[in-house]
C-alpha cells in the first residue's frame, strides 16, 4: 500500500511519470486528439508545480488537483474550439444572402440619404426638422427653445417635409438605395 504523502516521497519527475499516462488517457476522452491531450496534461503539471505549496500532500488531493486541472483545461479548449467554429462558419456565410445584412445596408443607406437631405434644407427648416423629428422635441418645446411661435414651427416642419418629399419623389433617394438591393 502506498504512503499518503507522495508529494514528499517522490520527485517531481517520478510524479510526472506516475500520473502522466492516466491523465493523458483522461484528457483524450474529452478532446479526442492525442497531441492536444498531452499538451493539456503537461500544462496541468506545470500548474501543479507552480501551486504545489497550496495542494495538500496526500495522494488523493494530488490526484484531485491534477484531474481537475486537466478536466477544466479540456473543457476550456472545447469551448474555445466551438466558439472558433461558430465564428468561422459565420465568416464563411455569404453576407449578401443574409436578409438581416441586406436590410441593415438598405436602412443605413436610406438613413444616410435622409440625413444628407435634411442637411441641405434651409437653416430654419433644418433646425426645426432636426430637433423636432430627429431629437423628438415637441412643437411647443421647439417654439420655446428657438423663441418663435408654434405656428412658425409648424409651417417650417411642413416646408421641410414638402422639400424632402420633392427630393424623394424626384428619385434621388430611391435610385441610390436601389443600387444596394
* pLDDT tier at 94, thresholds 50, 70, 90: low
74 by Cβ neighbours in 10 Å (0-12 / 13-18 / 19+) ranks as: buried
pLDDT surpassing 70 at residue 119: yes
What stretch of H or E contains 163? helix 150-169
| Report for 32-36, 60-64, 82-86: range of highest mean pLDDT | 32-36
DSSP assigned state of 171: T
- The alpha carbon of 170 is separated from its chain's Cα centroid by a whole number of angstroms, namely 41
pLDDT surpassing 50 at residue 181: no
pLDDT surpassing 70 at residue 92: no
CATH dotted code for 95-178: 1.10.10.10
CB–CB of 72/59 below 8 Å?
no
- List of long-range contacts for 149-154, beta carbons under 8 Å, 24+ apart: 153/128
Q: How far apart are CA 18 and CA 103, in angstroms?
A: 60
pLDDT surpassing 70 at residue 109: yes
- Hey, what CATH class is 6-92 in? mainly alpha
CB–CB of 178/106 below 8 Å?
no
Buried b (16+ CB within 10 A) or exposed e, 49-58: eeeeeeeeee
Q: Tell me phi and psi for residue 136, to 5 degrees.
A: 80, 15
What's the angle, vertex CA 21, arms to CA 75 and CA 2, rounded to 5? 110
Q: How far apart are CA 134 and CA 126, in angstroms?
A: 11
Q: Tell me phi and psi for residue 6, to 5 degrees.
A: -65, -35
Q: Identify the residue whose cell numbers are 434644407.
A: 121
Query: Which pLDDT does position 116 carry in this prediction?
Result: 86
Average pLDDT, the chain: 82
Q: Where are the domains of the chain?
A: 6-92, 95-178
Residue range 156-180: mean pLDDT, rounded: 70
Residue range 75-86: mean pLDDT, rounded: 88
Amino acid at each position: 500500500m502506498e504512503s499518503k504523502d507522495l508529494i514528499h516521497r517522490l520527485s517531481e519527475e517520478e510524479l510526472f511519470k506516475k500520473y502522466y499516462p492516466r491523465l493523458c488517457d483522461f484528457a483524450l476522452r474529452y478532446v479526442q486528439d492525442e497531441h492536444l491531450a498531452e499538451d493539456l496534461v503537461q500544462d496541468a503539471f506545470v500548474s501543479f508545480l507552480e501551486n504545489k505549496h497550496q495542494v495538500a500532500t496526500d495522494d488523493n488531493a494530488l490526484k484531485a488537483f491534477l484531474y481537475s486541472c486537466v478536466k477544466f483545461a479540456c473543457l476550456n479548449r472545447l469551448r474555445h474550439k466551438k466558439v472558433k467554429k461558430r465564428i468561422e462558419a459565420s465568416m464563411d456565410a455569404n453576407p449578401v444572402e443574409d436578409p438581416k445584412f441586406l436590410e441593415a445596408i438598405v436602412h443605413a443607406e436610406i438613413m444616410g440619404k435622409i440625413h444628407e437631405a435634411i442637411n441641405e434644407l434651409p437653416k430654419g427648416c433644418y433646425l426645426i426638422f432636426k430637433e423636432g423629428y430627429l431629437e423628438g422635441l415637441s412643437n411647443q418645446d421647439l417654439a420655446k427653445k428657438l423663441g418663435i411661435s408654434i405656428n412658425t414651427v409648424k409651417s417650417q416642419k411642413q416646408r421641410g417635409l414638402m422639400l424632402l418629399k420633392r427630393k424623394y419623389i424626384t428619385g434621388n433617394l430611391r435610385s441610390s438605395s436601389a443600387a444596394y438591393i
